[in-house]
Each structure stands twice: as structure tokens, then as C-alpha cells.
Amino acid sequence: MSVPIVRTLKELRVTVANWRSHHAKVAVVPTMGALHEGHLSLVRAAFEKADRVIVTLFVNPKQFNSAADLAAYPRTELSDAAKLAPLGVHMLYAPDASEIYPDGFSSNVSVTGVSEGLCGAFRPGHFDGVATVVAKLFLQTGADLALFGEKDFQQLHVVRRMARDLDIPIEIIGCPTVRESDGLALSSRNVRLTAQERALAPRLYEILSSTAERITGGSGVQSALDTARSDILAAGFQSVEYLEYRTESDLLPLSIPDREGRLLVAAWLGQTRLIDNVEVAVASKELTF
């Protein structure tokens, strides 16, 4: 069985209208391709909640910060389609660029607040690019629900805010990060790691996890973050772009574990920028800060 590939908005709309006439619930999983088990886990979660599942594949130029990064991004449509087929995906929407950004396209969706700091501070314009393309994909597909991985935790917040602010009637579902057996978060960029870098990449998750435990256990937040930063560098990473402790619900800076939090990190390993995040549990009431 193969996945029907749709390239035009017209065909997408006709197909979805037909599904809707049969009262089908429609889910969308937006991707840029180079699919791995993380994407497939979103697809499986989509099948649990919807009758029809659309995966979108569009390498969105507006969210890249450098032409070289865009050019280097893997384009693997054939093998992506082959991975989706056994799952029974109803449509791979891989639009021509002109369906997303037709001649004269002049609009921009910009989300303030949750897009600031963290990745937003190091990738100017990135989240405008994400919010713009995702808004278009939501409106084009008219899906009832959309699934995103928690690995891109800030992106998940940006997309939620955007859909809420623009009254797009879609439910956004965040799904847990999928990891290799050694803890490395799956990412389409992992293929860029050399064998030596790949061997030390899991240290990022190990350090994040132990730091989260230390914070919950009552260590001072700043000293725990300082130690984690030195440990990441000592493990062989070139630089740490950010390592921050933020609230789970709205990504505000957090200084004590008195509510659900997240530790979020971006660090460079050779030519590869890795991001990851872990939950930080609330400390028990006996601890005094």
C-alpha cells in the first residue's frame, strides 16, 4: 500500500471536504520530512484520536537562518512516503512551494512573548517562519487536531499561542520526545554528527536529567545551572547557547521549583546544534528555598 501524495491546495481541499461529508475527524502532523521514529510516534498518536491522518512535508525556507542550513536540510520524500505507508496515513501533503508562498506573498505571522529568548534569541525570524507556515497548514488542511513533538518545546508554545490568538479551531497536542536507547533525542539533524560526536551527544540528556533532579532535590537553581553548563562543555560540546529553567505552562523564567518547570538547552557539538528539554518536578513542600 502506498500513501497518496497531494501537491495542490485544490486537491487537498476536495479530499478533506469529502472526508468531512462522512463526518470524519481529521488530524494533521506537520513535518519538514527526513522522518524518524519521533515523527512516526506523532502519526501513531494521531490515529488514536482521528479518523483521517494527513502528514505534511514542506521544507519551509522562511524558518531557516542561513541559506547553507536550508540547502543542507535532508530531502527524502520517497523514503518518507515509504515509512508512512505501513501506518496507513491517508495523505502526504507535499505542496509545491507556490501553494504555500504564491507570487506576491506578503504576510507574516509573528507571535511575541513565548517566542522570545531561548531559540528565539539565537534564531532571529525563525519562529515567525514557523508560525506563518503552520498557520497556513492549519487553514489549508482545516484539520481538527495537530500533533507536535515536545522536543521543540518552544515551538509547541508558539504554535499553541498562534492558534489561540487567531481563533483557528484546532486542538494542539504535544507528544513526548522520542529518544535513542542511550537517551539522545531523535532529530533529523543527528545524521550530521560524526561517530565521535554521536558517542558523546547523549551526555546532554544525562546532564539535563541529573540537573532537573538536583533542582527538585533542593539545590540552588543558579548553582545547578552553572554546574550543568560546565559539565556540558567538559563533555566535549563547543558551546552552550542557552540553558534555562522555565515554567512548563508559559515559558516564564523560574527560580525555584514551586511549580511545574522545564530545563531547556541548546548546545553545539561540532557543526551540529542540538536542542533538548526535560521536565523538572515540583519540590516537596518540606524543602525550604
Size of the site for ligand PAF (CB under 6 A): 10
Cβ nearer to ligand PAF, comparing 150 with 231? 150
Choose the binding region for ligand PAF from 26-34, 44-52, 210-218, 254-262 (rule: CB under 6 A): 26-34
Min. distance of Cβ 30 from ligand PAF in angstroms? 4
Mention every residue, 6+ apart, whose C-beta is less than 8 A from residue 98: none
Cβ nearer to ligand PAF, comparing 20 with 62? 62
Annotated active-site residue 22? The verdict is no
Site for ligand PAF in 125-184 (CB under 6 A): 130, 133-134, 152, 155
Three cell numbers, residue 231: 559539565
Min. distance of Cβ 102 from ligand PAF in angstroms? 17
SS3 readout for the chain: CCCCEECCHHHHHHHHHHHHHCCCCEEEEEECCCCCHHHHHHHHHHHHHCCEEEEEECCCHHHCCCHHHHHHCCCCHHHHHHHHHHHCCCEEECCCHHHHCCCCCCCCCCCCCCCCCCHHHHCCCHHHHHHHHHHHHHHHHCCCEEEEEHHHHHHHHHHHHHHHHCCCCCEEEEECCCECCCCCECCHHHHHCCHHHHHHCCHHHHHHHHHHHHHHCCCCHHHHHHHHHHHHHHCCCCEEEEEEEEECCCCCECCCCCCCEEEEEEEEECCEEEEEEEEECCCCCCCCC
Choose the binding region for ligand PAF from 30-38, 239-247, 257-265, 272-280 (rule: CB under 6 A): 30-38
* Contact between 30 and ligand PAF per CB under 6 A: yes
Site for ligand PAF in 54-113 (CB under 6 A): 60, 63
* Contact between 28 and ligand PAF per CB under 6 A: no
Min. distance of Cβ 134 from ligand PAF in angstroms? 5
Three cell numbers, residue 249: 505552562
Cβ nearer to ligand PAF, comparing 15 with 154? 154
Min. distance of Cβ 260 from ligand PAF in angstroms? 23
Q: Which of 22, 23, 39, 90 is catalytic?
A: 39
Pick the binder of ligand PAF from 19, 27, 31, 276 (CB under 6 A): 31
Min. distance of Cβ 258 from ligand PAF in angstroms? 31
Pick the binder of ligand PAF from 28, 32, 143, 170 (CB under 6 A): 32
Decide: 10 and 36 in contact? Cβ < 8 Å.
no
Interface residues with ligand PAF (CB under 6 A) are 30-32, 60, 63, 130, 133-134, 152, 155
Q: Which residues are catalytic?
A: 39
